[in-house]
Amino acid sequence: MNFDNSFGRKYICLLMLLTIMITATTAGFAQFDTAVVLGTVKDQNGAVLRGANITLKNNATGITATTQTDSNGDYIFPSVKIGTYKVTAELQGFATAVADKVTVTVEARQRVDFTMQVGAATETITIVDSAPLLETESSSKGQIITERQMVNLPINGRTYSSLALLVPGVRQSQSGNQGDISFRREGAYNVNGLRSVYNNFLLDGIDNNFYGTTNQGFSNQATQPSPDSVGEFRMSVNTYSAEYGRTSGAVMNVSTKSGTNEFHGTAWDFLQNTALNATGFFRPTDGRKPQVNRNQFGFVFGGPIIKDRTFFFLDYEGSRWIQSPFGLASIPSLDQRKGILPVDVRVPFDFVDSTGALVTTGTVIRAGNPVPMTKFARTVLDNLPAPNRTGGGVLTVANNYGNFVRNRLFEDKGALKIDHNFSARLNGFARYAHRRQTIRQPGLITGFSGGNAIGNLTTYNQQGIAGITWNVSNDSLIEYRFAFTRLGMDRLPALVGGPSMRELFGITGLPEGPRIQGGVTPQDLPGFARIGRQSTNPQAQFPTTINSRINYSKVIGRHTLKTGYEYLALNQNVDDTNPLYGIDAYGSSFSRPAANLTTNPNNTNSAYNNAFGISDFYFGARSQYQLATQVTAQMRQRFHYGYLQDDFKFSPKLTINAGVRYELVTPVYDADNKFANFDPQTKSVILAKAGSISERSMRDLDKNNFVPRLGLAYQLSDKTVIRAGYAVGFNYWNRMASAELMNTNAPFVTRASVQNTAANIGAICTGNNFSGCFRRTQDGYPTNLLTSPGSVILYMPRDLPWGYVQNWHLTVQRQLSRNNLIDIAYVGNHGVKLPILADYNQARPLTAAELLLPAAQRPSLLDRRPIQSVNIPGSGAVRVGNITAVLPTGFSNYNALQVKFEHRGATLNLLNSFTYSKAIDNVSQVLEVSNGGSPNPQNVFDPANDRGPSSFDQRINNTTSVVWNLPIGKGRSFGGSMPAALDRVIGGWVASSTITLASGQPLNLRYGDTDQRLSDNQPDFLGGVALRPNVGTNGGILSTEAQRSALGLKNFEYYFNAANISIPTVDQPFGNIGRNAVYGFPLYQVDFGIQKNFPLRFINEVEGGVPY
């Protein structure tokens, strides 16, 4: 089926909708974070029994519900909270039948059938039931993570959502997960080969997604409860009910704990110490281990306010975490800080050096002699840390500095939940959660010349949820949820509040104030780590959501139908324009002497190009400087979802799950209509205006998003079920950093990017001039630089569609014994029209003939761009550089074999998930890049050329989790009759472990466009090019094991066969190495824990243990 055909899509969805409405005329049961308990009552001869009274009792709260069987002998409880229940069947002339210890899980359709025997009602026949292993009535593919697993398994950082990695097809996203606490993005997973932003998080039935546009907050969830406050969650990864939408990836449906008729609580304190940590593959020079000191403490406590009626549950957790991972950087050597270089250098213009002496234009300093430098350059270099490792490359600076990055994270979070039973048919709840987190991350290079890191980040989360459930009758139900979620993230530079650049060096034109000044303006030298502060600081975001959901449900015959509507209002204020404190970038040409002025062979050796980059820095001969104005974007977006779902019991063996959603989502618009977009037809910037959503957002409102869901479950035998499904999901939220903030476009924001050229180097800028002259670093930034629109423009096509993914699976489940299940599945999906970032105004390469011309006569980067200028309201024609574009040319494809083995026993729980897969796409998600990945293509005019393994293509992934109640202690296999005092010490221990075996991650080789062959130097989240090098014929990309053994070193630079990798020529910049062409080392990880619960008189238990 060609789903891209909008007419065909609507026809199929409408046909499905009509079919559902014809087969059953009213709507059906919704679930939120609850479940369904249903069954059939028969006599001993197999005849159905009508009018049997069915009672469902919660064993913890004592709350009961009743219903009767219909003419088919069927009964149903449509909305049941998770927990353990007793189900009783009573009918005159028959003995009472009781199913005890019925475990109900999130989204389950828990079937409890009864065969009643003739007898007196006072007679009772009891059966013991448990959560079913086979899924006989649902085509949704997923996994329940139970309370037992969350409480007992060793969880690094105590983030319960990390247990999603136990599910087949789920892997850890590298969205900020680089071993740095400031970037550990909680809840970031690539599920079935899809981007991590394509997952949907629900908490107590309400939207719990983080809607920040950047990595601030470092979680994909708005609130993150403690594991001890979570009852369980279901990770649905493929073809789930039409009740769920918003995106095409997984749905994590979390249900929090509630109070019961007994007071119960748990207190804990988990400690992690450096002594238990491994050093890692790349060993620090001094052999020290990376420091990790973590203390996580807290409690949960719940109980009755009014027995059988009102309950409370309170939780709190604090974290104090200091982590110092080891990092590597390339910094100037001690000789280079003195101005000693292996090349001859020519002074490009007159300047005053650090001693106050005038150095004149044309002076040639021979190799080995100190090169004079400005006061700014001298001070910055003198304040760098000293190299402490042997560096690589001809300049011996590659990774010549290694140290521990000291990071600190403090967090406090808690919640209070109240449940109230108004009557037998009406109940409700309310929950309030609060979290505050502070992060301090100074960066690998600290001190005056460092700070290229997050700096100081403060995050807070507040969420209020309320809900009611009304059983209108035995076969109809209404559920309603409402939530208000407010988040705030404020990030400031590491050296915020320090002296300004004007006060230190007389460098003018940069903003000043307590939130912005402090540290050194970012200095980008080719071949070296960035010197100075991070260019994206300061930054702040304040997303707020209002979420309202209502579902109406009814059962008619064999049809269980559901319908509902959801509304979400997203208001987000974003302060994310950059660089607010400037960026100075240096090339490698201004201080290079002409060929007739030197005989030094190094001067003509391209391997020494970076030496001229640092000499340009000595003189203040920057090739580019950038600056932006500050503005707060007031983003608004509205989401409307409606659905109809029919779970049709076609026969005793076959259940058909059919549904359809209609989703109407507005494009983002600005509260004050301060929106601007680029029009490629007129080469003009156009402005939003009051009126319709399309006029305010300058994008078409897509009204065609009908979304079909179709699946089946066929019970081949008592122990075998075949399940299959097909579903479509649209993606309405793409974390694209500042690329989607059209309120930060010209003319509302100016992003100035000025190129210094060789043609102008003879005319030094004076005053506030910056056009047609050469403005040096020491000359600062002109104060009028931001008074007219700059050269960076954002562009989103008016007809930009929502990307979508088609998902499918075919699964066979086999129950091997009472407690053992094996699940074998083929899973696949295909995504199209996915957003990518690119430079829409990418320049053409220089030709071979142009390269023969003198540098001053070659066409500039601006001259080679397809769009030379843009008309901006109020300013007329303005020359432009990059045009950051969000384009719908991304695609993905995924195919996998997924095998799951599960054992659920009274003392042993074991889950083994194996995935063999291949994920293909053409770009990475913004802010999800790792190992050289990029959201930008190599060539905007040929994005299909980037087709290759996804950045998260780990072919093999096997995860085993075990929770084992050790058989030692009173009432157990060993020591069953030991005294109570001894049992308190020896008994009650639980051992648990998680073992992960995974193949290596892809590595994408890239080289920077430092000499601006095709695009300006700017972060990849603002659209650029991701250029790849060439590989020769002398071996492969990686060095061989023999080559690495001969070197006897475990250094990263020796992992590649550098002699066989080269930078392409300027006239042919696109390399022949494929995207993600090589893979890293396999991963083997074992987490082990042993713990014991100590019962106390007034508190249910105190938990202690040793995780490893």
What pLDDT shows up at residue 282?
57
Closest CA to 261 of 308, 315, 314: 308
- pLDDT at position 999 is 94
Residue 396: which region, alpha, beta or left (left: phi > 0; alpha: psi -120 to 50)? left
pLDDT at 2: 46
Between 164-168, 384-388, 1076-1080, the lowest mean confidence (pLDDT) is in 1076-1080
Under the banding of pLDDT at 50, 70 and 90, the label for residue 1096 is low
Q: What is the mean pLDDT of residues 942-952?
A: 93
Which tens digit of pLDDT belongs to each residue from 670-704? 999 999 999 999 999 999 999 999 999 999 999 99
Question: What is the three-state SS of 1063-1090?
Answer: CCCCCCCCCCCCCCCEECCCEEEEEEEE
Per-residue pLDDT of 770-820, as tens digits, reads 988 999 999 999 998 887 655 568 899 999 999 999 999 999 999 999 899
pLDDT digit string, tens, across residues 499-516 = 999 999 999 999 999 999
714 confidence band (pLDDT: 50, 70, 90): very high
CB atoms within 10 A of CB 1004: 23
**How is the chain split into domains, by residue range?**
31-128
∠ Cα 663 202 964 (to 5°)? 140
- 1062 Cβ contact list (under 8 Å, min separation 6): 1029, 1030, 1032
The most confident of the ranges 169-178, 650-659, 741-750, 984-993 is: 650-659
Share of the chain above pLDDT 70, in %: 91
Q: State yes or no: pLDDT of 365 exceeds 60.
A: yes
Mean pLDDT of the 459-467 span:
94
Q: Identify the top-confidence range among 281-290, 740-749, 987-996.
A: 987-996
Residue pair 442/455 in contact by the 8 Å Cβ criterion:
yes
- Which of the listed ranges 4-8, 757-761, 1020-1024 does the model predict with the highest average pLDDT? 757-761
State residue 412's pLDDT score: 96
Q: Please write the tens of the pLDDT for every residue from 605-616.
A: 878 989 999 999
pLDDT-wise least confident of 174-183, 362-371, 561-570? 174-183
Helix intervals (H) in 779-855:
848-851
pLDDT: which is higher, 5 or 825: 825
Tell me how many degrees the CA angle 736-742-743 measures, rounded to the nearest 5.
Answer: 120
Q: Alpha-carbon torsion 602, 607, 609, 611, what sign?
A: negative
Residue 855 reports pLDDT greater than 90: no
CA angle, corner 663, sides to 79 and 22, nearest 5? 65
| Distance set, CA 504 to CA 355, 507, 518, 933 (Å) | 16, 8, 10, 38
Buried b (16+ CB within 10 A) or exposed e, 215-232: bbbbbbbbbbbbbbbbbb
* Short-list 302, 546, 299, CA closest to 417: 302
The arithmetic mean of pLDDT across residues 1005-1033, rounded, is 80
418: β partners = 312, 430
The per-residue pLDDT for 790 is 57
1009 pLDDT tier (thresholds 50, 70, 90)? confident
Quote the pLDDT of residue 18. Answer: 47
Mean pLDDT of 140-157: 88
Q: What is the pLDDT of residue 603?
A: 87
Least confidently predicted of 191-205, 273-287, 311-325, 354-368: 273-287
**Per-residue pLDDT at 1038:** 80
| Displacement of CA 580 from its chain's centroid (Å) | 26
The winner for highest mean pLDDT among 35-39, 414-418, 1009-1013, 1044-1048 is 414-418
Residue 170 scores a pLDDT above 70: yes
21 pLDDT more than 80: no
> pLDDT band for position 214 (50/70/90)?
confident
Q: Cα separation of 445 and 451, whole Å?
A: 6
Q: Indicate if the pLDDT at residue 998 is higher than 90.
A: yes
Q: Is the pLDDT of residue 825 over 90?
A: yes
Take residue 31 and report the two structure tokens written for it.
């679930």
pLDDT in tens, 1046-1083: 665 555 556 788 788 888 988 999 999 999 999 988 98
Residue 28: predicted pLDDT: 39
SS3 for 540? strand
What pLDDT is stored for residue 1105 in this prediction?
A: 53
CA 797/CA 10 separation, integer angstroms = 24
Distance between CA atoms of 308 and 421, rounded to whole angstroms? 8
Residue 291 pLDDT class (50, 70, 90 cuts): confident
pLDDT of residue 11: 47
Q: What angle do CA 1016, 578, 624 make, to 5 degrees?
A: 35
pLDDT (mean) for 113-141: 80
Q: Please, what CATH class does the domain formed by 31-128 belong to?
A: mainly beta
The tokens describing 911, both together, are 């889950």
Mean predicted confidence (pLDDT) in 918-942: 87
pTM of the predicted model, to two decimals? 0.86
